[in-house]
Structure 1
């Protein structure tokens, strides 16, 4: 019945998806996920990892690197591009009605965080897989919605063998939804000791401020909040790193206007890459961690406008950057609690926050990645002997 219902939803959604697919941002992912266009089954493997998007794929890198026989599925274009750099056995995860016919066998299936799809876990179990929900959490904001559909999540957890929860509070909430065999393992993102892919030069005698992972409407707010400060302080270099590549050109216009008003030089990183300008737009993928490594201060985006919920503070904290965040980080509460010295303010208060910046950030608790690796490898070996 559920697959039939999913098919009807798929059928009704097709006209809307066809219009949405005209946008470059969704063209590849929608045709692959809903029509299986250039999206064949992945090769059978020991472990199938599923993560939603770029941030989740990056969070899994250190774990994935411990396995040779693997598949990796995602749902977004940026996530897929990152997955392909890890393994060629990467695919877009199809919509629910297609999964029973598409999903290939894996000895262990690892699903990251909130990617709770009934046909994904049910089809994996039918294929003989040991199903793990990794980094499981239920945010305060989404808790009531989970309870509203408790009957659905009960069915999902019937097909999940092991839940690795982020905290005791998450464990209690997951149990209420029907989850069993729960281990509190911490947040795997705290175990990722991020390493730069290249060493960028530090700016001598200048404080580097990286404005990271910003969303629509956020650049204007942040830059407005920084304007008076930047007018009166010339020993700073600004890096702006928008979250989504589709917005690079739009953000370049905003940044150029702001820089011109303050008589600051401006460049796109993709065009010059010489770091001479006062303001640099980071308009390439996969470079943000390299800039975190040389940043003195990180203004963490996704937190100055509602409905985004913040981004991962662990990454800049690995390098001891001074972190300033907005107030809207509800989706990242667990990670924020793991980092010491994050300063919270409104966008309009950023100038004052920079006059009195926080201490260097510190990570308070690290997830035991080796324990998780052992659990997965033990289950792979158990199924090899069957």
Structure 2
């Protein structure tokens, strides 16, 4: 029976998209090369981005492909991957991401039997080659990686599709609701056997974009789950902990360019009443660490860079972490964590759960974007669990209060940790239950 309405229009839009991605393939290959020159693609595994494998597919048995765009989504997938690996040892697992930073961190955290590849770009040639080689039985996409050639190609091959931690920001929802793109979404979303949204608001977004109601099942936010991973080499962390043990400490994590000026302004006020204070700054993009350090030093600050294992000599009051994969360990060294990406419009916030799990008092700005539901849920559980501030003056005021009163600080730490544990319990098993029931069980 011929399709009518939005789905028929969606087929037309998809044919245009496929033709464009086919025609623009040479330019996309040049773009990947340009990214490689800038250090944004892996220096020797670039062929994987074109759908050309660097590892062998297991010769027999079903294969489950987890795809996450970058580090945050990849970290959220790991507990489910481990759960799947334990419950279904007969299933081979393939993990893909698109960023080098995700690769550098995840390669040491994934179970040894998980195959890791960089995800192919969404051109017909790359995606068809990838699907044709790996022949996955199921694909689990994390959050919002809705690539048309991937989804349509998988559907034509009879591959089961699931969207975990499914989300669409208000901006993305408006984008996909446009008359030109709405038919394409109407074509793509019905291909999913399972869509597990982060919240009821997200569920409504997906339903308005024509996701079948039967495919939508709640499992909880996987970014609440902090994967238990032991750092292989903790000597430097332990040494840093020893250096910080007699000092007042706070940390500003996942700081975007421009936000360090707010942090520095607050630091300059705090140091007047707490001369032994150390401010730990963790840039969202570690490659900017040296640049930020030089700017701070020009302003008269004595900065120690993590990558150089600089000691906190007397007078060093800013410790700048320009490395990857240590954030969770660093949270354990500080009683207070300010989460960046939240102080300016246009930023999307960052995950607050790791700081809460470590027992930090959690502070953030108001521009929390993708994590607004997490902030709201934690505050609903306990209003003291996440403190939101509007800028430098409010951040300064709250920090002064926390450093001045140990009981207030302890109550904020306890509130954050309790809210995290209450909301994170059973999330992974719920995700496994809906995934197993609605996808794996029906596609063996």
Q: Shared fold (TM-score greater than 0.5)?
A: yes
TM-score (norm 2): 0.77
- Structure 1 Cα separation of the partners of residues 296 and 81 of structure 2: 37
- Structure 1 Cα separation of the partners of residues 256 and 26 of structure 2: 32
- Structure 2 Cα separation of the partners of residues 314 and 118 of structure 1: 32
State the Cα distance separating 1:284 from its structure 2 match. 1.8
TM-score (norm 1): 0.87
- Structure 2 Cα separation of the partners of residues 173 and 241 of structure 1: 34
Q: Aligned in 2, Cα 1:53/1:155: closer, same or farther, shift over 3 Å? A: same
**What is the correspondence of 1:193-342 to structure 2 with a 5 Å cutoff?**
197=231, 198=234, 200=238, 201=241, 203-258=244-299, 260-261=300-301, 264=302, 266-272=303-309, 277-340=316-379, 341=384, 342=386
Q: Which residue of 2 aligns with 1:374?
A: 433
Which of the residues 18, 23, 29 maps onto 1:8?
A: 23
1:150 lines up with 2:209 in the alignment? no
Q: Which has the higher helix share?
A: 2
- Structure 1 Cα separation of the partners of residues 55 and 210 of structure 2: 31
**What is the correspondence of 1:67-216 to structure 2 with a 5 Å cutoff?**
67=85, 69-85=92-108, 86=110, 89-97=115-123, 98-103=126-131, 104-148=134-178, 149-180=181-212, 181-192=215-226, 197=231, 198=234, 200=238, 201=241, 203-216=244-257
1:51 lines up with 2:110 in the alignment? no
Q: Aligned in 2, Cα 1:210/1:273: closer, same or farther, shift over 3 Å? A: same
Q: Aligned in 2, Cα 1:42/1:327: closer, same or farther, shift over 3 Å? A: farther
The DSSP-based 3-state class of the residue aligned with 2:334 is: coil
Q: Tell me which moved more, 284-293 or 362-371.
A: 362-371
CA contact (8 A) 2:45 2:54 kept: no
- Structure 2 Cα separation of the partners of residues 29 and 346 of structure 1: 44
Q: Aligned in 2, Cα 1:19/1:383: closer, same or farther, shift over 3 Å? A: closer
- Structure 2 Cα separation of the partners of residues 136 and 60 of structure 1: 12
The DSSP-based 3-state class of the residue aligned with 1:286 is: coil
State the Cα distance separating 1:55 from its structure 2 match. 1.3
**What is the correspondence of 1:32-47 to structure 2 with a 5 Å cutoff?**
32=47, 35-36=50-51, 39-40=53-54, 43=57, 46-47=63-64
CA contact (8 A) 2:283 2:321 kept: yes
State the Cα distance separating 1:331 from its structure 2 match. 2.2
CA contact (8 A) 1:112 1:135 kept: yes
State the Cα distance separating 1:31 from its structure 2 match. 4.2
Structure 1 portions without partners, runs of 5+: none
After superposition, give the CA deviation of every residue in 1:57-101 in whole Å (9 maximum; x if it has no partner): 112221112215211111111122234332562112112222022
- Structure 1 Cα separation of the partners of residues 323 and 56 of structure 2: 28
The DSSP-based 3-state class of the residue aligned with 1:179 is: coil
Q: What CA RMSD, in Å, does the superposition of the two structures yield over aligned residues?
A: 2.8
Q: Tell me which moved more, 110-119 or 271-280.
A: 271-280
Structure number with bigger Rg: 2
Q: Aligned in 2, Cα 1:17/1:370: closer, same or farther, shift over 3 Å? A: closer
The DSSP-based 3-state class of the residue aligned with 1:354 is: helix
Structure 2 portions without partners, runs of 5+: 1-14, 403-408
State the Cα distance separating 1:205 from its structure 2 match. 4.3
Q: Which residue of 1 aligns with 2:11?
A: none
